[in-house]
Structure 1
Amino acid sequence: MNVFVTGGTGFVGANLVRLLLQEGYSVKALVRPHSNLGNLQGLDVEIIKGDLNDFNLWQQMQGCQYLFHVAAHYSLWQKDRDALYRNNVLGTRNVLAAAKKAGIERTVYTSSVAAIGAGKFDKVVDETYQSPVEELVGDYKKSKFLAEQEAIVAASRGQEVVIVNPSSPIGPLDIKPTPTGDIILRFLRRQMPAYLDTGLNFIDVRDVVRGHLLALQKGKSGDRYILGHQNLTLKELLDKLELITGLSAPQRTVPAWLPLSVAWVDEKILAPLGKQPSVPLDGVRMAKQRMYYNASKAVRELNLPQSSLNTALKDAVNWFVSQGYVNL
């Protein structure tokens, strides 16, 4: 079977491409003209250079039976607002229209738990929960919510589209890195003297991509499936890293007002003056919420694996070291 993948150079996409190849699929991967192709190096993949909003994208998809739309623009900087909506919302609309025109039989759309939002008072939420769009923190979350609506509309019109909502993946090939990978790197580089009192849901990235394939095989069109595993405070994650690496985890918390103040100055004063900001305001505002999720639907209906986070963390650390991100 021939599969078309967007976002194949990224963390989730590159792990997905490897899984698809292992399972005997032929893969076409859409990449931007100037993308870093390091994650696809040496793989038997047909590279298609283009953009999510290309009008002729459907022609590139012809001959493929399935589509995994993994690509998304991720940024918490307020200056990237227009790019977020152009790539995530309009790009998803165009990709789904192209899939329909090309005769794609089934699409798996990679949304995010960001589109669902966070439960109030640290409540653990599932696929039935939805924060009002105006309560979603930042334009990234809002753009992912609106992009997911594009997938839901396409499915309501008869297109086979299954939605998956990964939480925070951990593991190898985190090339950019992602926010979770950045936490690991800052820990390894001893750049985290203190931590924010927040919490997230974490999952091995290899379980995330297996969940994508299971969604293709078993998922119900129009439904969404949280691909997650374990809810942990940030301190609990850092303590796991301490056990794995032997490096000491930070013991002090940072009051939320401090990074909020730094971020406000960065984005509102320094950025307009042309200086590179260091802390995104939306990122700090998000961290004030504990983003906990229940993935039992995907476990029950898709048989989503729930692999050890310790293994995922060890493999992430080893990959960052092997790739020269940090010296231990």
Structure 2
Amino acid sequence: MLNSQFKVLVTGANGLLGTNTILDLLEQGFQVRAFIRSVDKRSEFKHPALEYVFGDIMHIESIKKAMNGCQYVIHIAALTDLKIKDYHAFEKINVTGTRNVVEMAREFEILKFIYVSTANVFGFGSKDDLGNERKEMQSPFKKMAYAKSKQLGQEFVLSQSDAMDITVVNPTFMIGPYDSKPSSGRIILNCLNKQFVFCPPGGKNFVCVKDVSGGIVNALRFGKRGEAYLLCNENLSFFEFYKKVRLHSKQAFIIIKLPKWAILGIGYFGNFARFIGIETAISISNTRAVCINNFYDNRKAREELRISFNPIDTGIKEAIDWFGKSSSKNRPI
């Protein structure tokens, strides 16, 4: 039985998902310990049930300090920077770091462990044949360092479910407030105050970040041991998504559809730039990913985690509003 008076350790606490998850936990009465890398990443947000602890998931002693006295762990921390081309950098954080957190959770006899993975470890599909938790990972994600490392991290986590109560959640592309870096919200920022917005030919599954954070809390309560759940919602082409951003931002930018050959050409140029030492997130694997319809089904999460998903319009409006009002002083985590 889940006890909201128990303490939850949240790694990766200052990112988009970490922030929203902590706010959900606090609202539902949990004691929360936010694990972040350094004091300068801590916000001015305060709550009597929230404490900060500083450290690195690569350092066992700092994990021990963070985990001591906690009963639940939500492991969100991950390396996601697509500008990094070295797979070993991703493997270090997303596989070895995850292993460190899981092993310490076993040592501290954590009652419930939630691992946040990514939807791309599962096979995607079309609107007529959606991706789900039973489909195997597909290209181009098989060749993307982030996705490969998360797949290995997830495989290790689930291999420990006989010894510990572990549930995995797999979000798609999250949109919403408190995106202070910014991360996925950059897709919205790139549309604002522009005359033209260039649109790739593919599509994604978009989900409100608050639905994902709520899904994580529900996974603490209802998530089955050794199971993984896609936290996803609306399957949209990029053109459909940009039209929603245009509507809710009340801006009149023109959406220009780019052909697949042009997007792939940009990807090959990005590979060449990386080869000569220029740091860029553009690569052929990344551009191939925006030329496909990367669609998923949320049926399992709706039925087993008891989640009601909001329209992505809600997340878009909340993100636009937050970007408009935010400053370094009022970003909460």
Give me the TM-score of the superposition, normalised by structure 1: 0.90
Partner Cα separation in structure 1 for residue 10 and residue 294 of structure 2: 28
Partner of 1:240: 244
Which shifted more, 313-322 or 279-288? 279-288
**Which of 54, 58, 75 is residue 59 of structure 2 equivalent to?**
54
Please tell me whether the aligned partners of residues 199 and 239 of structure 2 are also in contact (alpha carbons under 8 angstroms). Answer: yes
- Which of 139, 156, 160 is the aligned partner of 1:154? 160
After superposition, the C-alpha distances for 1:18-63 in whole angstroms (9 at most, x for unaligned) are 111111111111111266323x633442211111121222343121
1:31–1:50 Cα contact (<8 Å) kept: yes
Using the size of structure 2 for normalisation, the TM-score is 0.89
Check if 1:107 corresponds to 2:113.
yes
SS at match of 2:85: helix
Question: Deviation string for 1:241-264 (max 9, x for gaps)?
Answer: 222122235342112332333333
Alignment map for 1:28-43 (pairs within 5 Å): 28-33=33-38, 36-38=41-43, 41-43=45-47
| Of 283, 286, 289, the match for 2:286 | 283
* Residues 276 and 77 of structure 1: CA distance in aligned 2, closer, same or farther (over 3 Å): closer
Structure having the higher helix fraction is 1
Contact 1:197 1:254 in 2 (8 A): yes
What code does the residue aligned with 1:65 have? Answer: Q
Q: How far apart, CA to CA, are the structure 1 residues paired with 2:19 and 2:318?
A: 15
In 2, the alpha carbon distance for the partners of 1:217 and 1:121 equals: 31
Equivalent residue of 1:108, what SS?
Answer: strand
Contiguous gaps of at least 5 residues in structure 1: none
1:132 deviates by 5.5
Q: Which moved more, 1:22-31 or 1:246-255?
A: 246-255
In percent, how many aligned pairs have the same letter? Answer: 30
Cα gap change, 1:142 to 1:258, in 2 (>3 Å)? same
Structure 1 pair 278–191 and aligned structure 2 pair: CA distance change class (3 A): farther
The match for 2:316 among 310, 313, 320 is 313
More moved, 13-22 vs 27-36 = 27-36
Find the aligned partners of 2:275 and 2:289 in 1 and give their Cα distance: 23
User: Residue 128 of structure 1: CA displacement?
Assistant: 1.1
Range moving further from structure 2, 40-49 or 218-227 = 40-49
Provide the C-alpha distance between the structure 2 equivalents of 1:31 and 1:85, rounded to a whole number of angstroms: 19
8 Å contact 1:219–1:302 — kept in the other structure?
yes
Code of the residue aligned with 2:96 in structure 1: it is L
User: Out of 210, 213, 231, which is 1:227 matched to?
Assistant: 231
User: CA deviation digits over 1:198-234, x for unaligned, max 9?
Assistant: 1111111111111001111011011001111111111
Q: Quick one: which amino acid aligns to residue 92 of structure 2?
A: R
CA distance in 1, matches of 2:113, 2:267: 38
Offset of residue 193 of structure 1 = 2.9
Give, in whole Å, the separation in 2 of the partners of 1:120 and 1:35.
Answer: 43
5+ residue gaps, structure 2, are 1-5, 329-333
- The correspondence for 1:171, drawn from 156, 176, 181, is 176
2:7 matched to which residue of 1?
2
Contact 1:204 1:308 in 2 (8 A): yes
User: Structure 1 residues 71, 191: closer, same or farther in 2, change over 3 A?
Assistant: farther
CA gap 1:297/1:192 in 2 versus in 1, 3 angstroms: farther
Match in the other structure for 2:94: 88
Alpha-carbon RMSD across the aligned residues, in angstroms, is: 2.2
Instruction: Quickly say closer, same or farther: Cα 1:60–1:135, change in 2 above 3 A.
Output: closer
